[in-house]
């Protein structure tokens, strides 16, 4: 059970207003994507949720409890895998647990097995490919004691083939566990393929300018990306985004 709510959030750095009265909500077990051009303040939103920055205005609520400026309330997966090179895969995935309580290695091993990483449990990150490292980073955020997961453009550094593989893999794992997810991306197709809902961000200052509900049934597979309905959605979102860029 985990919901996240941003209410009337404003944040500026000096003269520059990044977020202006932003509202967004992620329901329990929902996969919500934030879609927006680079520099639209997506990272700032995560830093606010993560407690690294204080909002100038407004409240952030996790399960109806204000978490403004409180670090470590959410489980976070950054753009780069950010694995510790001196830890094995197994030691890396328990890191987020280790910060708050005694880690359960057995549970970690089971999760690695489900994620298809069992054979790599004792490997070091530098022995893995880029896609594998991202999988490890995702398993780490799943194992994290916080139930709400924030993913910050996790696949943006991967090549197109690996990216598609990773999206399918992410969906299978997510459909088993069903955690609430806030996913940041600038890839329209990725957002449609994965999400229940897409929030399109306008830039400077960022605000949710349009919301799309994606109700393709789950489990989804890659054929979906070639269907007429999918392409319709993509076109619709693309036009919205173009409007944002032209402003």
Partner 1 sequence: MFRKSFLPVSVIVSILIIWELSSRILAIPTWVLPAPTIIMQEAINGWSNYQHHILSTVFLTVSGFAIGVSVGLLIAIMLHLLPKIREALYPLLIMSQNIPIIVLAPLLVIWFGFGVTPKLLIITLVCFFPVAVSTIDGLRHTNPELIHYMKMAGATKKQIFTKLELPHAVPQMFSGLKISATYSVMGAVISEWLGANKGIGVYMTLASSSFRTDRVFVAILFIMILCLIFFAIIIAAEKIILKWHPGKEEQS
Sites of contact with partner 1 (CB under 8 A): 46-47, 50-52, 71-76, 78, 80, 82, 84-88, 95-96, 98-100, 124, 126, 144, 146
Least distance CB 125 / partner 1 (angstroms) = 8
Give the Cβ contact number of residue 117 at 10 Å. 21
Least distance CB 89 / partner 1 (angstroms) = 11
Residues recorded for the chain: 247
Nearer to partner 1, 87 or 234 (CB): 87
Least distance CB 45 / partner 1 (angstroms) = 13
Nearer to partner 1, 74 or 166 (CB): 74
Structure token digits, residue 191: 């957002």
Nearer to partner 1, 97 or 171 (CB): 97
Least distance CB 117 / partner 1 (angstroms) = 17
C-alpha distance across the termini of the chain, in Å: 39
Nearer to partner 1, 72 or 196 (CB): 72
Question: Contact, 232 vs 207, CB < 8 A?
Answer: no
Cα–Cα distance, 86 to 69 (Å, whole number): 30
Report CA-CA distances (Å) from 157 to 151, 161, 225: 13, 12, 21
Max alpha carbon distance in the chain (Å)? Answer: 53
């Amino acid at each position: 059970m985990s919901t996240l709510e941003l209410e009337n959030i404003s944040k500026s750095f000096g003269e520059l207003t990044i977020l202006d009265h932003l509202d967004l909500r992620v329901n329990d077990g929902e996969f919500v994507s934030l879609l927006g051009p680079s520099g639209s303040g997506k990272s700032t939103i995560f830093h606010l949720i993560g407690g690294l920055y204080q909002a100038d205005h407004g409240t952030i609520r996790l399960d109806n409890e204000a978490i403004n400026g409180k670090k470590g309330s959410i489980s976070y997966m950054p753009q780069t895998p950010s694995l510790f090179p001196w830890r094995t895969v197994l030691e890396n995935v328990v890191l987020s647990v280790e910060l708050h309580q005694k880690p359960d290695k057995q549970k970690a091993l089971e999760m690695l097995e489900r994620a298809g990483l069992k054979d790599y449990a004792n490997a070091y990150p530098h022995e893995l490919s880029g896609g594998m490292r991202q999988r490890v980073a995702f398993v780490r955020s799943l194992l994290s004691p916080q139930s709400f997961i924030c993913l910050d453009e996790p696949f943006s550094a991967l090549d197109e083939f690996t990216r598609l593989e990773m999206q399918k893999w992410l969906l299978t794992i997510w459909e088993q566990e069903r955690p609430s997810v806030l996913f940041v991306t600038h890839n329209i197709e990725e957002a449609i393929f994965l999400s229940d809902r897409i929030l399109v961000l306008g830039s400077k200052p960022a605000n949710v300018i349009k919301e799309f509900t994606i109700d393709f049934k789950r489990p989804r597979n890659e054929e979906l990306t070639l269907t007429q309905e999918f392409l319709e959605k993509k076109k619709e979102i693309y036009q919205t985004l173009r409007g944002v860029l032209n402003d």
